[in-house]
Amino acid sequence: MSTINQSGWRPTSPEKGEGSSDTFTGNRALMLEEPLIFEIGSNETTGVDFGEAPSGKSRLGGLERAKPINLPGLSEPEAVRHYTRLSRQNYAIDLGLFPLGSCTMKHNPRLNERMARLPGFADVHPLQPVDTVQGAFEVIHQLAHWLVTLTGMHSVAMSPKAGAHGELCGILAIRAALDAKGQQARKVILVPESAHGTNPATAAFAGFTVEDIPATAEGRVNLDALKARLGPDIAGVMITNPNTCGLFEPDLKAISDAVHEAGGYVYCDGANFNAIVGRVRPGDLGVDAMHINLHKTFSTPHGGGGPGSGPVVFSEALTPYAPLPFVERQGDHFILVEEETAGEHHAGSFGRMVAFHGQMGMFTRALTYILSHGADGLRQVAEDSVLNANYVLRAMEDVLDAPFAKSGPCMHEAIFSDKGLAEGFSTLDIAKGLIDEGYHPMTVYFPLVVHGAMLVEPTETESKATLDQFIGAFRSVAARAKNGEPALKSAPHHAPRRRLDETLAARKPVLAYKDAPKAEAAE
Amino acid sequence: MRYLPLTDTDRQAMLATIGAGSIDDLFIDVPESARLSGPIAGLPPHASELAVERHMTALARKNVVAGEVPFFLGAGAYRHHVPASVDHIIQRGEFLTAYTPYQPEIAQGTLQVMFEFQSQVARLLGCDVANASMYDGSTACWEAISMARRLTKRGKAILSGGVHPHYVSVAKTMAKFTGDQLVTSLPTLSPEPDTLDLINQIDDDTSCVVVQYPDILGRIEDMSALADAVHAKKALLIAVVTEPVALGVIKSPGEMGADIVVGEGQSLGVGLQFGGPYVGLFACSEKLVRQMPGRLCGETVDAEGKRGFVLTLSTREQHIRREKATSNICTSSVLCALAMSAHMTLLGEAGLRRLAEINHVAASAAADRLGEVDGVELVTDRFFNEFTLKLSKEARPVVRALADKGILAGVSLGRLYPGADDLQNGLVVAVTETTTEEDVETLASALQEVLA
C-alpha cells in the first residue's frame, strides 16, 4: 500500500459533467473505430518472417509479375489488434440470444473446434492414398450412419457444401431418376409460397420450372390444391418440414403418397430438422430426399456466413442416382467410390458436385456434437427447442399478432406479424429496437406469406432466465412500436453504427477499396 | 447434458405457462404413426467431453498426417505454413459464432472483413471486383461458366485440358441438367499447354474459354494471345487459379485479359482439412458485376454520415429474386475468407512475394534433383511450385509403394484420370516452403529404389 504515491490520488466517484460527450478519436471507450487495412498497412510491412530472398533457377520464363499487387501488410500486433477490434463490432451467439428464425443459431461447442484441429483431421490432403486416410473415411462413415438412422432414410450423400447445395443435390437426383425412367417431360417442381428463396432458385438452376403451391389459412400446404395440380408434367415437390411458419406439416405423408402416385418425388428442405431430430424420422413420412444443414441442427459454427455443410439423405428410390464420391465400408476397410470405381452398381449416379469429398472440417465437428449428445440428448434437443419457442409464442401473443397461434403449438420457431403496429411503424423498427436492447433481431420479412413477418427461433441452448429477459425486452419494444414512439424509428442508437444507407450502396456500388496503399502513393 | 441449460423444474414451469400438459402435447401435429416413443434404438447415449475426445482422437490417429512425413501433394490443395495468429483470429467467438450480416449495425466486423477480402482478392487476381466468397474453386468455376452463358447468351463453353479434372467433372454434371455444351479434353504430357488448339475451337457459339493457371500439371503460360482470340469472337475468358500463392511472383490473369477469374483460396490461411471447407474466389470486371453470383459487400454511410458496410446488389440473389436469381447460393465460406484475408494481411505485398519466391526456388531445385533420378523425366518447362514428372512405370503403384515407405510422393495422374492411357506414368509433385531439402532427398532416393 505504502509504495503508491498517493499525492493527488483519490478513489473515483460518479460525477456528472456538462457539455458534449463527443471524443477526439470518434471512439467511445470500449467501442473502437477501426480503419481499413488499406489505410493502415503498407506494401513494405509484413507480419511473417522469412529468411533472405532465395537464389536459384527461375522457371517463370517471362511471366514474372512486373507491377505490385498493392496488398497492404500489417505486423502481427497490428493485425491481431485490427481483427480483434473488428470482431467487437459483431453480434454473435457467444454474446447472447440470436433468435434468427430458420437459421438455428445454437451454441457452438468448443470441443468441436478442438477435435477438428487434431492434425489427423486438419493436416490431411484429400488425394492421399486411401490407405493413409482410413480414419477420415471412418469419420465420414460414422456420421453418415447417424444421419441415415436419425432420418430413417436409405443412404446419404455427404459432399454438398451447404444447404442450398444440398437442395441442388436432391433436385438433380430427382431429375436423374426421372430421366432414367424416360420421363423427360416432367419439368415442373411445386414449391410452397412460404419456402426459402433457395428452393425456387435451386429448381430453376437445375432447369426446372417452378410453380407455387398455395397455403391454407392455418399456414400449411393446401393439400387439395396440391393434389389438383399433380399430373404428368410434375417432377416433384419441395416441402419444408417443419415449415417456415414454424409449423409441422401434418399432411406430409398424404402429400408424399399423392406425389408418388402421380409419378413424382418429394424433396424435403431439412433446414428446420432441429425441431424433430430424434422424435420424427422424415423417412417415415415418405420423403425421397432431404438436406441436413450441419451448421444448424448439428452445431457447426455459422462463421459469419459459412462454411456450411449440407449432406443429403435419400430414399431407396433415389439412392442409385446419388452423387459421387462416397465412402463405402468393405470389411474393416473403407474405400472411396469415385468416377473410376463407381462401376455398374452406381452407374446411375448423376455425377460429381464438388472437388474432393465435401466439408470434412464440418464432419468432424458434427460427429463430435452428435456423440456428445447421443440419441437421448438429440431427442432432448428437439424437445427443448420446441418448448423454448412455444414459451416465447405464448408470452408474446397478447402484444403481437401471432397468425397461427390459435391453430395449436408451434415447432421450434414462433411467428408474428406487423398487424396492430402504429401507423408508420414496421417490423424493421422492432428489429432495430431489439438491437439497442442487446439482442440480435429475429428473421424479418420472411416467410413472405405473413405480412411483416417476425420469425423467432430461440433454440434449445437458451436458459429460461435468458428467455424471460428477452421476452421482457421484446414486449417492451413491441409496445413502443404499437404506441408509435418516435425514438424507435431511428433505432438503433447504441450500436456501432446507426441505420445504414442501403439504397446508396446499391445505387453507387463501392465494392473494393480503390486507392493504392500509402507506401505506393508516396512513391 | 452439458449443452442444454433447461432443468426439469424449468421445463415443468414452462409447460405450465404454455398450458401444455406434457412435451408430447407440443408435438400434437405429428401423425401418431410417425411419433418415436423414445431415443432411436441402436444409437449410443450422450457422452462426456473426455469420452468423445478419446473416440475422435483414435480416429484421427488412423490417418497419416501430412506434416509428419515427406509430403508432395498439390493438385488443387496445397500445404503452406499458416501463422498462429490466423487461427486465433478465426476462433474469436464474435467471428466464429456470428451469421450472415443481415443486420449491418451489429455486423460491421464481418462486413468490413468481407470488404477487405473482396478488395484483396480483386487485386490479387487482377480484377476490379471480387465477391465475398463461394463454396470452393470447383463450384466457383461452374458458376463462372453459367455467368458467361447469361452474359453472352451462348451455350458452348470450351474447357482447357489443364483445368483440374474435378472442376471439369463438376461442370459436366451441371451441364447435363442445364443443357450447356461443354468441350473438354485431357491434358497431354507436354512442356506447354496447347493454346493454339483452344484458339482454333472458338466459334460464334462459344460463350467462354476456361483455362487454369498454373494448370493441373503445374504449367504456366501467358494467356494474352488467347484472351485476344476469345474477345475477337465476343466470348469471355475465364481463368481458374487453384494456387493463389503463385500470384506473388507471376502476372495475374486479369493483367493478361481474363474477364472472370475464379479460384480456390485454400492455400492462403486455410489448412488442407481433407478437402474442405475451402474458399471459392470469384472476381470480374466492374461492368459484369450485376450478373455475378454470391454475396457482395459494399461501402455506404449510416444515419450520422459515418462510413459503414452492407450487403448489396441483393437483387441478384435467391432470397429476393427466387427462381430468377443469378445462382441458388446462400451460405458461402466467410470464415475461410476471413482466414485467407488475415493471412494476406499478415503477409502483405512483401511477404507474399517472398513466400512465392521461396516456393518457386524450392520447387525448381526439387525438379532438378528428381529429374536426375533414373527413370524420371521432368515434363514441365515453366512452372511455379508444382511440376509433372513422367516415370518409367505407372505412377499409381509407385505412389502406393512410396506411401508404404512413409513418403507422400505427389498425386498420380492415374488417380485423377483413371483410364487415360497416356497419362498413367505422370506424377504431379508440389513443393512449398514447408518442404525441406531432406524431404526432397528422401523422395529422390526412394524413387530411385522403386523405379529400379
Question: How many domains, chain B?
Answer: 2
The reply to whether residue A125 touches residue B112, judged by beta carbons under 8 angstroms, is no
List the single range of A123-127, B41-45, B73-77 with lowest mean pLDDT: B41-45
Q: Which residue of A has its CA nearest to B173?
A: A351
- The answer to whether the beta carbons of residues A282 and B31 sit under 8 Å apart is no
Q: What are phi and psi of B391, to 5 degrees?
A: -95, 160
Mark whether B88 and B106 lie in a shared domain: yes
Domain boundary (B302, B319, B343) is at B343
CA A489 to chain centre: 29
Over 80: is that where the pLDDT of B101 sits? yes
Per-domain boundaries in chain A: 111-368, 382-506
Over 60: is that where the pLDDT of A5 sits? yes
Residues 293-322 of A with CB under 8 A from B: 295, 299, 301-309
List the single range of A6-15, A198-207, A310-319, B17-26 with lowest mean pLDDT: A6-15
Question: Three-class SS string for A408-445?
Answer: CCCCCCEEEECCCCCCCCCHHHHHHHHHHCCCCCCEEC
Q: Which CATH number fits domain A382-506: 3.40.50.300, 3.40.630.10, 3.40.605.10, 3.90.1150.10?
A: 3.90.1150.10
Over 70: is that where the pLDDT of A519 sits? no
Report which DSSP code applies to A187: -
| pLDDT tens-digit series, residues B226-267 | 999 999 999 999 999 999 999 999 999 999 999 999 999 999
Identity of the residue in B5, B43, B342 whose CB atom sits nearest the CB atom of A461? B5
Instruction: Give contacts of A105 with chain B, Cβ < 8 Å.
Output: 97, 99
Residues 201-220 of A with CB under 8 A from B: 201-207, 210
The reply to whether A382-506 shares the fold of A111-368 is no
Best A105, A124, A257 residue to mutate vs chain B (most B CBs within 10 Å)? A124
The reply to whether residue B276 touches residue A360, judged by beta carbons under 8 angstroms, is yes
| pLDDT tens-digit series, residues B390-438 | 999 999 999 999 999 999 999 999 999 998 999 999 999 999 999 999 9
A426-451 average pLDDT score: 96
Residue B310: inside a domain, yes or no? Answer: yes
Residue pairs between chains A and B whose CB atoms are closer than 8 Å: 718
Over 60: is that where the pLDDT of A1 sits? no
Mark whether B267 and B122 lie in a shared domain: yes
Mark whether B139 and B273 lie in a shared domain: yes
Mark whether B321 and B370 lie in a shared domain: no
| pLDDT tens-digit series, residues B107-156 | 999 999 999 999 999 999 999 999 999 999 999 999 999 999 999 999 99
A149-161 average pLDDT score: 97
A89-109 average pLDDT score: 97
Over 80: is that where the pLDDT of A28 sits? yes
Roughly what angle, to the nearest 10 degrees, separates helices A464-483 and A427-436? 130
Residues 44-83 of A with CB under 8 A from B: 44-48, 50-51, 53-74, 76, 79-80, 82-83
Over 80: is that where the pLDDT of B170 sits? yes
Q: Calculate the average pLDDT of chain B.
A: 96
| pLDDT tens-digit series, residues A206-215 | 889 999 998 8
Mark whether B124 and B242 lie in a shared domain: yes
Q: A499 — contact with chain B (CB < 8 Å)?
A: yes
Buried b (16+ CB within 10 A) or exposed e, A384-393: bbbbbbbbbb
Q: Look at residue A521 in the predicted model and tell me its pLDDT.
A: 42
ipTM, interface predicted TM-score of the complex: 0.97
Query: Would you place residue A2 in the very low, low, confident or very high pLDDT band (cuts 50, 70, 90)?
Result: low
- Architecture of the A111-368 domain: 3-Layer(aba) Sandwich (3.40)
Q: Look at residue B325 in the predicted model and tell me its pLDDT.
A: 77
Domain boundary (B343, B362, B393) is at B343
Q: What are phi and psi of A446, to 5 degrees?
A: -145, 135
Q: A446 — contact with chain B (CB < 8 Å)?
A: yes
The reply to whether residue B128 touches residue A512, judged by beta carbons under 8 angstroms, is yes
Grid cell, residue A315, equals 430414399
Mark whether B218 and B274 lie in a shared domain: yes
Residue B27: inside a domain, yes or no? Answer: no
Residue B47: inside a domain, yes or no? Answer: no
* pTM (two decimals): 0.97
Best B88, B106, B143, B388 residue to mutate vs chain A (most A CBs within 10 Å)? B106
Alpha carbon distance A197, B320 (integer Å): 7
Residue B35: inside a domain, yes or no? Answer: no
User: Measured between CA atoms, how close is B446 to chain A, in angstroms?
Assistant: 17
Look up the domain containing B397 and give its range.
Answer: 69-81+349-451
Q: Look at residue A473 in the predicted model and tell me its pLDDT.
A: 98
Mark whether B248 and B149 lie in a shared domain: yes
Q: Which residue of A has its CA nearest to B191?
A: A59
Q: Look at residue A522 in the predicted model and tell me its pLDDT.
A: 39
Over 70: is that where the pLDDT of A305 sits? yes
Over 50: is that where the pLDDT of A520 sits? no
Residue B52: inside a domain, yes or no? Answer: no
B54-77 average pLDDT score: 98
CATH number at residue B410: 3.90.1150.10
The rounded percent of chain A whose pLDDT value lies above 90 is 85
Mark whether B193 and B325 lie in a shared domain: yes
Q: Look at residue B324 in the predicted model and tell me its pLDDT.
A: 77
